[in-house]
């Protein structure tokens, strides 16, 4: 009989599993390009973990390491990719202790979203609202909520922008699992696309 595995060994094993999951999800996310047709985008995502709604494509993957990856693709009226957002939530427990980390990144095309005259802060508020005004399907609800929660946390880092809107009240329970106070960044690239990022490295 082998020796019992201690916390350090289990942490190492979970790290390997998390790394493998990270590579697959990152590849899928990076293959999605703004302006793509829906059918092309769907080929980049695992068929058995992805569904389409009238306005989004949702892909959700939970790994054995306590990692959850949620990808939400926003669709334009002509079903082309108008935006993509990837949320990563990692939760680990060692006895009574719980550690959580969260990251959200996204790319948005305001023209394809039909929000060309709207700045990135207000676009983020609109999307948080829409993604929590949830579809009937439970899988889509969960996927979109993970992303919407990150948008709420991102908006909190710009207090001058005002309240995040009804999204915060709709999913107060989920926000308990998305640490606040992280680092937020919003930039606009040379094509006028909005690049969003929110990172909270960890907390109880």
pLDDT(16) > 60:
no
pLDDT given for residue 201 in this prediction: 84
Domain that holds residue 64: 7-203
Task: Give per-residue pLDDT as tens, 119-177.
Answer: 999 999 999 989 988 667 899 999 999 999 999 999 988 877 665 556 556 666 667 78
**Top-confidence residue, 98 or 58:** 58
Report the pLDDT averaged over residues 111-124.
Answer: 95
Q: For residue 94, tell me if it sits in a domain.
A: yes
Q: For residue 130, tell me if it sits in a domain.
A: yes
Q: For residue 163, tell me if it sits in a domain.
A: yes
Q: How many domains does the chain have?
A: 1
Six-digit token string for 182: 């992280």
pLDDT(1) > 80:
no
pLDDT given for residue 24 in this prediction: 83
pLDDT given for residue 25 in this prediction: 84
DSSP the chain: -PPPP-HHHHHHHHHHHHHHHHHHHHHHHHH--TT-BHHHHHHTS-GGGEEE-SSEEEEEEE-TTSEEEEEEEEE-TTSBEEEEEEEEEEEEEETTEEEEEEEEEEEE-TTTTT-TTS-HHHHHHHHHHHHHS--S-HHHHHHHHHHHHHHHHHHHT-GGG----THHHHTHHHHTTS--S-EEEEEE-TTS-EEEEEEEEEE-
Q: For residue 78, tell me if it sits in a domain.
A: yes
Q: For residue 106, tell me if it sits in a domain.
A: yes
Q: For residue 2, tell me if it sits in a domain.
A: no
Please state which of the ranges 91-100, 115-124, 180-189 shows the lowest mean pLDDT.
91-100
State the maximum Cα–Cα separation within the chain, in Å, rounded to a whole number.
67
Report the pLDDT averaged over residues 99-113.
Answer: 95
Q: For residue 143, tell me if it sits in a domain.
A: yes
**Which residues partner with 199 through β-bridges?**
103, 183
pLDDT given for residue 66 in this prediction: 87
Q: For residue 1, tell me if it sits in a domain.
A: no
Question: Which residue from 86, 74, 159 is spatially nearest to 123, judged by alpha carbons?
Answer: 74
pLDDT(7) > 80:
no
């Amino acid at each position: 009989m082998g020796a019992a595995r201690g916390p350090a060994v289990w942490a190492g094993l979970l790290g390997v599993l998390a790394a493998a999951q990270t590579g697959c999800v990152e590849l899928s996310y990076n293959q999605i390009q703004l302006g793509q047709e829906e059918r092309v985008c769907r080929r980049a995502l695992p068929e058995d973990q992805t569904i389409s709604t009238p306005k989004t494509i949702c892909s959700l993957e939970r790994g054995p390491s306590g990692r959850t990856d949620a990808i939400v693709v926003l669709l334009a009226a002509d079903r082309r990719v108008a935006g993509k957002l990837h949320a990563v939530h990692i939760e680990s427990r060692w006895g009574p202790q719980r550690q959580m980390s969260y990251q959200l990144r996204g790319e948005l095309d305001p023209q394809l979203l039909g929000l060309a005259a709207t700045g990135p802060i207000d676009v983020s508020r609109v999307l948080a609202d829409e993604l929590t005004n949830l579809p009937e399907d439970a899988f889509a609800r969960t996927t979109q909520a993970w992303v919407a929660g990150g948008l709420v946390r991102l908006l909190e880092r710009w207090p001058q922008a005002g309240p995040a809107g009804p999204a915060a009240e709709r999913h107060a329970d989920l926000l308990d699992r998305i640490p606040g106070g992280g680092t937020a960044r919003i930039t606009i690239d040379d094509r006028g696309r909005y690049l969003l990022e929110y990172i909270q490295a960890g907390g109880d």
